[in-house]
Amino acid sequence: FPVTIPRATALGFFCNAQVQIQGPFTITTTTSGDCIVANLGARVELLDQITFGACAADHMTASNMSTILIDNDYTVSGSAAIAHRLAQANSLISNQGGSITVTITADLAMTYWTLAGNMGQISMPSVTYSLGGHTVTGKRYEADNLSLIYSGGGGANYFPGDAAGSTSVGGQYA
């Protein structure tokens, strides 16, 4: 049965922690914080049956040489105030499960769908975004300060959103 986890940063992993997360559950934050944070060398693996609900900051954040690996399909049922995924400071968010589907079950609004900064990397090839008639407003991607976003050749409109993506200060999008 779904469980909602409402608090500041809902799930935070730090200092070389290595965890695997498996649902079924819906993860949300209400007043501040991210849904899932990997920081200071942490490695988080998202396995199955995870739903991202409304989040006061980012759905997923990897920072300071950390990694978030996505192994299976997942659902997004609520907006994030900033980004669906954010990788920064030599960190990585990556699709590890081959072809996956991200199912969107509500109209969403966020500043960015995918954001990489300060040498962060996001690698999300082979992802199908199933919008089911819903809309996503916000910028598709942003890569800045020597960061990289890899879509597997998906093109400029690969990620959901109603605004074009961009790169700056050595950021790359492929």
* DSSP symbol at 163: B
Is the model's pLDDT at 154 over the cut of 50? Answer: yes
pLDDT attached to residue 2:
44
**Which two structure tokens, joined as six digits, stand for 108?**
């969403």
pLDDT band at 105 (very low <50, low <70, confident <90, very high): very high
Looking at mean pLDDT, say which of 26-30, 97-101, 125-129 comes out highest.
125-129
3-state SS of 41-99 is CCEEEECCCEEECCECCCCEEEECCCEEEECCCEEECCCECCEEEEEECCCEEEECCCC
**pTM: predicted TM-score of the whole model, two decimal places:** 0.93
Each residue's pLDDT tens digit, 121-145: 999 999 999 999 999 999 999 999 9
Whether the CB-CB separation of 99 and 125 falls below 8 Å is answered with no
| CA-based end-to-end distance of the chain | 39
Q: What is the pLDDT of residue 165?
A: 98
